[in-house]
Structure 1
Amino acid sequence: MSVIGEAALSGFLDLLVGKSLESALKFVADHNQLHQQLKQWQSILPDIQAVLDDAEEKQIKNMGVKNWLQDLQDLAYDVDDILDEFAYEELRLKLKKSQAQASTSKVRKLIPTCCTSSNFTPTSFLFKNSMIPKVKEITDRLNSLTTRRSSLGLSDILSQAPISKGKQPRLQPTSVVDGGVDYVGRHKEKTEMIELLKGDTSNGVSVLSIVGMGGMGKTTLAQLVYNDATINESFDLKAWVCVSDNFDAIAITKAILQSITSESCDYSNLDLLQVKLKEKLSGKRFLLVLDDIWNENYNDWTILRSPFGAGTTIIVTTRLQIVSSIVDPLKVFHLDKLSDDDCLSIFTQHALKARNFDGHLLFKEIGEKIVRRCKGLPLAAKAIGSLLRTVKYHGEWERIYESEIWNLPEEQCGIIPALRLSYHHLPSDLKRCFAYCSILPKDYEFKEEEMILLWRAEGLLQQKAMPQIKDLGNQYFQDLVSRSFF
């Protein structure tokens, strides 16, 4: 089951156990058989929900658990469909009642006093009877999942991490560096890159490439160089574009042009864009960062770089060595893993707001073990540090260290195990809000207010006091930002 599937399942169960099921129970209050069945759902679902964290972790090595989660997800969708049927029928009856309120119903006089519930009509009684087999089937499947849950040894290990308030967001990798963090481990590479950038560029376009696996700090190194004071003195114009896996020459060129002119650009013709860009760059020293390139097509690269001439230097970051070869760099910077000391500094800055464990001796031994599991990856150290930022329980640090997710290869789960682990330990309400963001295009820039409205429309902000929903959305957003997810 995918990460997003897990979050959707967790969110589904939250919603089903809550308002949707409560509403259905009220609607069938006059139907004893249905009411008893739905009361069983209300009892069983929270017990299943309580073992989700354990199941999501154990599925890595246990195919039986993986199948159990898949069956639970299928069941959750079926439960949702049935509750929708109840909600629709209730709404239909209310509408019909309001339309017929002025007239006297002859049928109602024939109904026995024992059946005069506000939800009772002959048609509603027939509808509820027709739902009995569907509801009974769901109850049987829920009981089966409960039995299998016990045989698989799944247990309740709900996260203890409290919700916290965070800082203002930086939504995606940009040229901006976090001034509150002391960056370590790339001083040598930064110094060498700056010296090369300040050199003579009169012979044409110069390219420097930064190559390394995900989480190694390629973007961070580019940010540090881009924002260095001596670089600002050496270049007339600068631009930063996050390229990612959608290598669109028109969009990239437009982004560069808008960056150096600070004006909107309505051109959609590549030739017009490139002519305009070439005019703006004439006689200027220009620094361009193209962050996170995946495109291996040499022709696409030559088309994109055609407006650039003498005075232009380009920094390219990529995970792929073949991309670095295609851009024909003056110098390639291969980023290796950081030392344990550097990783420890990154980890403690985010977990403890300190450079080391000197003032936090209780966490020193377990913290150093966790840092070694980050295997020299700065992003892993940051992610796990952020996860533990508000956790003051030694047992929770132990549980993070002992998690089986560390043993999951990156190629199997598609993300660094440390990042999956930090996602896995999110509270369920934050998990489903974060997962919802995955439907947005990669590198799409969204604003806090926009995200909160989307979460609200999807029913992800569950709170009784409607006027306070916006405040709840703000809290969720800021908490995700503070945990380094956005």
Structure 2
Amino acid sequence: MVAEVFLGAFLQLLLDRLTPHHDLLNLARLHGVDKKLKKWSPALSAIGAVLQDAEDKQLKSEAVKLWLDELKHLAFDMDDILDTFSTELLRRNVMNQQHAWLTSKVRGAKFNFNMNSEIKEISDRLVEISERKDLLGLNYVVNKCSQVWQRPPSSCVLDGPVVGRDDDKRKIVEVLLRDDQPSSVNFHVVAIVGMPGLGKTTIAGHVFNDDAMERFSPKVWVSVSDNFNLVRVTKAILESVTSARCDLEEFSQIQEILSKALASKKFLVVLDDVWNTCDYDLWAKLQSAFRGGALGSKVIVTTRDTQVAKMMRSIEVHNLGCMSDDDCWEVFGQHAFLNVENGRLQSFELFREKVVAKCGGLPLAARVLGGLLGCKEIDEWEEILNSKLWSLCDNSGILPVLKLSYHYLSSNLKRCFAYCSILPNDYEFGERQLILLWMAEGLIQQSHECKQLEDLGSNYFRELLSRSLFQRSSKNHSQFVMHDLVGDLSRWAAGDMCFRLEDKLDVRCSSKVRHSSYIPGQFDGVQKFKEFFEVC
């Protein structure tokens, strides 16, 4: 499904840039290549019309799957050509033509030569892909989800109270407040274990912010994620305890300062989203700084891996179970019924059984499905709940409800969301920060309403937030994060388009990468960037 939904969005953006009234074609006319560019539009339209059929057939045909992959990268190359025209157009607008006539003339000749050769090469590829479309027997299929939808103006983004977890919270709080007997260590670990999407981070945040936790000071929240970095995690704890930036990189120095900062203090530390990349040796080094704390100090660990909880010698392992059907329906309703009058709620009860079955007891699924159906008319609910995407089998491991939510995003939003795959797991970002990145990459398209790009970007952001594809950070409500499973969705959507250069040894960068991010490591040097050098 990913190829069709992403390509459909991308091809439409290319067609918009190739419209006759666009300034790009006026510049192309000056260089005698406008006729070649105009031929792209009907070919792209014909290809776009069969994408839905190609998506259906690629599950059984390797040839169709290869065709879609080649089409995606051809579309990127076409976008690069159009970007080159945009850059040249901007250059000409800002240059003083009279004072730079000779330079402009020579530069224009080179520009004309380069464009002719590159446009011919792309045009030949487009013809070849168009011909293969016919040989593969791809046909036009109506795709209803391609229509752009808009959330009603009265909508708001509702975080809502935590549902169905009061008993879980009570049990965890009781353990945290229990008087500890003197032992070899003054702190104990309490683990919250459960499968992805159950709300481990949510319940940990619910506990962390409870008034009863005020007896702990300091209180620290650190997102660990799958790439466990001992220096980064230790430094994050230290910065939270001292409320000051730490520029040290030597672990022993950081650890020594942290030990002194925690000495004789009854602390509460949350290590959120710990994976099995944290082995016993790393944990032993990290927790040595906790040993000087006051008796009764606690560490809360959230993890999907029971072995991690055992390795940390947890005194209590709280296994978080699935939500009840009633609780799932309530969470769903928080997001689906924002604009529904109380008198009309009864009409939605017909879908209750099917909705809770699709949620599978996962709060994340209930939120996402509520965000999706909440923007649809009730007569569309049946079609979405019966979509074949629910039962589509692949090896991605992505929750069907997440694929469905992505499938029903508008074209522009699909590209913006896929771009988010460059963000590290558990990375906190600001709304304006992400909007500016989208703007810099040209992912926000100017509307006919003449709105500022930043205002349009804010609309995009709020849309993704209302779908629960973004959510507020548990430790800083002015920041946002993507759930691990949503991050997996963004990487699935982006394919090999985006690349994260992480502090790992096994990463490989494809020559087809279009966006990348760099995540600093402790001992970075030139060798760190060899993956980029090899594909340049």
TM-score > 0.5, shorter chain as reference: yes
Q: Which amino acid aligns with 1:137?
A: D
Asked whether the equivalents of residues 244 and 293 of structure 1 are also in contact (C-alpha less than 8 Å), the reply is yes
1:198 maps to what in 2?
Answer: 177
Asked whether the equivalents of residues 193 and 225 of structure 1 are also in contact (C-alpha less than 8 Å), the reply is yes
Asked whether the equivalents of residues 351 and 387 of structure 1 are also in contact (C-alpha less than 8 Å), the reply is yes
Instruction: Supply the RMSD in Å over aligned alpha carbons.
Output: 3.7
CA apart distance, 1:323: 1.1
Gap change, CA 1:164 and 1:282, over 3 Å in 2: farther
Distance 2:173 2:452 in 1: 50
Distance 2:172 2:340 in 1: 26
CA apart distance, 1:457: 1.3
Tell me the alpha carbon deviations over residues 147-187 of structure 1, each in whole angstroms, 9 at most, x when there is no partner: 3686355333214531467768xxxxxxxxx8x41322222
Asked whether the equivalents of residues 452 and 477 of structure 1 are also in contact (C-alpha less than 8 Å), the reply is yes
Q: Which amino acid aligns with 2:25?
A: L
Distance 2:319 2:64 in 1: 40
User: Which deviates more from structure 2 when the two are superposed, residues 125-134 or residues 459-468?
Assistant: 125-134
Aligned-pair identity (%): 41
Gap change, CA 1:225 and 1:83, over 3 Å in 2: closer
Distance 1:269 1:375 in 2: 46
Tell me the alpha carbon deviations over residues 268-305 of structure 1, each in whole angstroms, 9 at most, x when there is no partner: 22222222222222222211111100124110011111
Distance 1:376 1:388 in 2: 18
2:218 maps to what in 1?
Answer: 237
Tell me the alpha carbon deviations over residues 353-403 of structure 1, each in whole angstroms, 9 at most, x when there is no partner: 4999974233332343132112111111111111222222422x2232122
Distance 2:430 2:48 in 1: 32
Gap change, CA 1:74 and 1:225, over 3 Å in 2: same
Q: Which amino acid aligns with 1:433?
A: C
1:425 maps to what in 2?
Answer: 408
Secondary structure at the residue paired with 1:268?
coil
Gap change, CA 1:252 and 1:405, over 3 Å in 2: same
Distance 1:338 1:354 in 2: 25
TM-score calculated relative to the size of structure 1: 0.80
CA apart distance, 1:420: 2.2
Asked whether the equivalents of residues 65 and 152 of structure 1 are also in contact (C-alpha less than 8 Å), the reply is no
Gap change, CA 1:290 and 1:369, over 3 Å in 2: same
CA apart distance, 1:214: 0.7
For the pair 1:17 / 2:5, whether they are aligned, the reply is no
2:121 maps to what in 1?
Answer: 134
1:448 maps to what in 2?
Answer: 431
Gap change, CA 1:251 and 1:90, over 3 Å in 2: closer
Choose 1 or 2 for highest CA Rg.
Answer: 1
Distance 2:109 2:300 in 1: 73
2:359 maps to what in 1?
Answer: 374
CA apart distance, 1:82: 4.9
Distance 1:402 1:44 in 2: 33
CA apart distance, 1:427: 0.8
CA apart distance, 1:131: 6.8
CA apart distance, 1:451: 1.7
1:72 maps to what in 2?
Answer: 71
Distance 2:201 2:147 in 1: 31
Distance 1:200 1:435 in 2: 48
Secondary structure at the residue paired with 2:222?
strand
1:204-215 equivalences under 5 Å are: 204-215=186-197
1:125-274 equivalences under 5 Å are: 134=121, 136-141=123-128, 143-144=130-131, 147=134, 151-152=138-139, 154-157=141-144, 158-159=146-147, 161-163=149-151, 180-203=159-182, 204-232=186-214, 234-274=215-255
Gap change, CA 1:364 and 1:148, over 3 Å in 2: farther
Equivalent of residue 338 in structure 1, options 303, 323, 335: 323
Distance 1:60 1:323 in 2: 37
Secondary structure at the residue paired with 1:210?
strand
User: Which deviates more from structure 2 when the two are superposed, residues 253-262 or residues 34-43?
Assistant: 34-43
Q: Which has the higher contact order (CA 8 A, sep 6+)?
A: 1
1:293 maps to what in 2?
Answer: 274
User: Which deviates more from structure 2 when the two are superposed, residues 44-53 or residues 290-299?
Assistant: 44-53
CA apart distance, 1:89: 8.0
2:386 maps to what in 1?
Answer: 402
2:297 maps to what in 1?
Answer: 312
CA apart distance, 1:16: 1.8
Gap change, CA 1:122 and 1:71, over 3 Å in 2: closer
1:358-373 equivalences under 5 Å are: 359-373=344-358
Asked whether the equivalents of residues 57 and 404 of structure 1 are also in contact (C-alpha less than 8 Å), the reply is no
Gap change, CA 1:331 and 1:59, over 3 Å in 2: farther
Gaps of at least 5 residues in structure 1 are 106-120, 169-177
User: Which deviates more from structure 2 when the two are superposed, residues 276-285 or residues 44-53?
Assistant: 44-53
Tell me the alpha carbon deviations over residues 294-322 of structure 1, each in whole angstroms, 9 at most, x when there is no partner: 12411001111111133321111111122
CA apart distance, 1:193: 0.9
Gap change, CA 1:355 and 1:258, over 3 Å in 2: farther
Distance 2:116 2:173 in 1: 76
Distance 1:354 1:311 in 2: 47
Asked whether the equivalents of residues 205 and 312 of structure 1 are also in contact (C-alpha less than 8 Å), the reply is yes
Secondary structure at the residue paired with 1:200?
coil
Q: Which amino acid aligns with 2:65?
A: K
CA apart distance, 1:340: 1.6
Secondary structure at the residue paired with 2:286?
helix
Asked whether the equivalents of residues 349 and 355 of structure 1 are also in contact (C-alpha less than 8 Å), the reply is no
Distance 2:116 2:228 in 1: 57
Asked whether the equivalents of residues 57 and 405 of structure 1 are also in contact (C-alpha less than 8 Å), the reply is no
CA apart distance, 1:64: 5.8
TM-score calculated relative to the size of structure 2: 0.73
